[in-house]
Structure 1
Amino acid sequence: MRSIKKIHEAEYRPIADLVTYSPMPTRSLDHIDPFIFLNHHGFQTYSANNQGLPFGPHPHRGMETVTFILEGDIMHMDSSGHESVIGPGGVQYMTAGSGLIHSEVSSAEFKKNGGDLEILQLWLNLLSDKKMMKPSYIGLQKPEIPTFELDGGKVKVQQLFGAWEGTKGAFEGNFPITMSTIYLGKGGKFEKSIPTSDAIFFYIVRGELKVNAQEIQFRHLVEFENNGEKIEVEASEDSILILGNAASFKEPMVAQGPFVMNTHKQIREAYDDYQAGKFGTWTH
């Protein structure tokens, strides 16, 4: 059984009128290589005629984003020409690579009508030899993502990366990674074997789970030791879990603002390239 090293509570960090919690980085946890950043927006309900999400045009380089839309929607636009509106249960996967400008805002319909919103964004690092790869973006709606059930239907799994129970994930990662969004009904349980060498990303979005016999509440991230393969999970109430694993890169990492590189010199180059217009032109 994989031992729990520490349980990290997400810190409250509102952005404008957007309820936001962040479990990583915090004062107790910098990152779990190669998982480097997570923001959990909501749950909250927007009234009609709202301003929606506040993430207007901004640059990125050297990393990837995985965005989980549980409630509400998110409209993505970027300087490579990609554009989509993804709704509840959908997921966006963007590779910033050598650099792009993108915006993440609510659709005109959501801003007009309001509604519930809960969205999470996870940043993944890129290996040094892939940091300057060509940017890419894929946005998938809920029906487009492969799903399967465990424990007689009490556990429903959206498979995003890698394979589990013979189900291949919706996205092809830029390094070996497995990731799922898992919906557990009360009493639902599963176990999974993960290579001892892999880092585990384990964040409880909603509900309460018993993890290797330890009760853990929502908005907590579980940090594991690298000393066993098996994890056992049981839902004390209806819950949502994001579970991922990947081998750690063990490379130098310098993160500053929207850029994640290997050296301070590369960070300065990223700012210079952005200001010189090398991230593409924003024409939206």
Structure 2
Amino acid sequence: MRTIKAIHQAAYHPIADLITYNPLPSARLRQIDPFIFLNHHGYQEYPRHNNGLPFGPHPHRGMETVTFILEGDIMHKDSGGHESVIEAGGIQWMTAGKGLIHAEVSSDQFKKEGGPLEILQLWVNLPAKFKMTEPRYIGLQKEEINTFPLEDGKISVQLIAGQWEEQKGSFDTLFPISLSTIHLEKGSKLTKNIPAEENIFFYIVRGAVKIMGEEIPFRNLVEFNNDGEQLSFEASEDSVVILGHALPFNEPMVAQGPFVMNTQQEIVQAYQDYQAGKFGSWKG
């Protein structure tokens, strides 16, 4: 059974009027290779005639973003020509690769009508061989994502990427990675086989779970030792968990602003390329 190495409480880092908690990276944890960054926005209620999400046009290179929309919506637009509005329950997966510019804002309808908002964005590193791959973006609505029950319906697994026994994730990925959003009713238990050499990403979005008798509330990231083939946990109350696992890259990582590369020189090159207009043109 996997044992807990450390528990990392998300720190409060509001962005404008957006409630934001950030457990990764922190002073104690740089990454859970290849998972490198997580922002948890909300839960909060937006009034009518609001400004919505504040993430206007900005560049990325060398990594991927996975965005979980639990409440509210996101309107995505990028320099590769992709546009979409993904609503509650949906997922966005963007591969920045060699570079693109994108904006993540609220839809006109959300800004007009307001409502609940809870959105998480996870950054996943890319291995050196894929750092300069062609950018891509896919957004899927809730009904387009493979979702299946466990424990007689007490657990619902939204399988975003990877394999879960005979089930297949809804996004094809550049390297093997498993990623799921798991909804659990109070008292339900889940045990999953995960190879000991893979790193586990485990974040409690809502509720609380027990792991080896220790109760851990929401807005905590659990770091596990690589000492077992099974992960087991129980919901102390109705809960939502993001669970990911993958082999670590064990490569050098230099992260600066929106760019994640292997060397400082590659970071300098990324800024130069962005300033030279090599990330595509932006049309507002």
| Counterpart in the other structure of 1:9 | 9
| Counterpart in the other structure of 1:78 | 78
Find the residue that maps to 1:268 and give its secondary structure.
helix
Equivalences, count:
284
Q: CA–CA distance in 1 between the matches of 2:157 and 2:61?
A: 31
Residue identity in the other structure for 2:140: L
Find the residue that maps to 1:176 and give its secondary structure.
coil
* CA offset digits 1:157-200 (Å, max 9, x no partner): 00011111311000011111011100001111110111000000
| Counterpart in the other structure of 1:273 | 273
Residue identity in the other structure for 2:25: P
| C-alpha RMSD of the superposition | 0.6
Residue identity in the other structure for 1:74: I
Q: CA–CA distance in 1 between the matches of 2:260 and 2:172?
A: 21
- What TM-score do the two structures reach when normalised by structure 2? 0.99
Residue identity in the other structure for 2:39: N
Following superposition of structure 1 onto structure 2, how do residues 162-177 of structure 1 map, counting pairs within 5 Å?
Answer: 162-177=162-177
- What TM-score do the two structures reach when normalised by structure 1? 0.99
| Counterpart in the other structure of 2:199 | 199
Residue identity in the other structure for 2:134: K
Q: CA–CA distance in 1 between the matches of 2:113 and 2:245?
A: 38
After TM superposition, give the deviation of residue 229 of structure 1 in Å: 1.1
1:58 and 2:97 matched: no
After TM superposition, give the deviation of residue 212 of structure 1 in Å: 2.7
Following superposition of structure 1 onto structure 2, how do residues 105-124 of structure 1 map, counting pairs within 5 Å?
Answer: 105-124=105-124
Q: Is the 8 A contact 1:147 1:167 kept in 2?
A: no
After TM superposition, give the deviation of residue 79 of structure 1 in Å: 0.1
Q: CA–CA distance in 2 between the matches of 1:21 and 1:5?
A: 21
* CA offset digits 1:73-121 (Å, max 9, x no partner): 0000000000000000000000000000000000000000000000000
Q: CA–CA distance in 2 between the matches of 1:280 and 1:243?
A: 33
Residue identity in the other structure for 1:246: A
Residue identity in the other structure for 2:233: V
1:143 and 2:155 matched: no
| Counterpart in the other structure of 2:245 | 245
After TM superposition, give the deviation of residue 26 of structure 1 in Å: 1.0
* CA offset digits 1:190-211 (Å, max 9, x no partner): 1011100000000000000012
Q: Is the 8 A contact 1:273 1:279 kept in 2?
A: yes
Find the residue that maps to 1:18 and give its secondary structure.
coil
67-76 or 206-215, which deviates more:
206-215
Find the residue that maps to 1:267 and give its secondary structure.
helix
| Counterpart in the other structure of 1:99 | 99
Q: CA–CA distance in 1 between the matches of 2:193 and 2:141?
A: 29
| Counterpart in the other structure of 1:30 | 30
Q: Is the 8 A contact 1:212 1:231 kept in 2?
A: no
Q: Which runs of 5+ in 2 are unaligned?
A: none
Residue identity in the other structure for 1:276: A
Percent identity over the alignment is 66
After TM superposition, give the deviation of residue 52 of structure 1 in Å: 0.2
Q: CA–CA distance in 2 between the matches of 1:143 and 1:211?
A: 31
1:68 and 2:68 matched: yes
After TM superposition, give the deviation of residue 233 of structure 1 in Å: 1.2
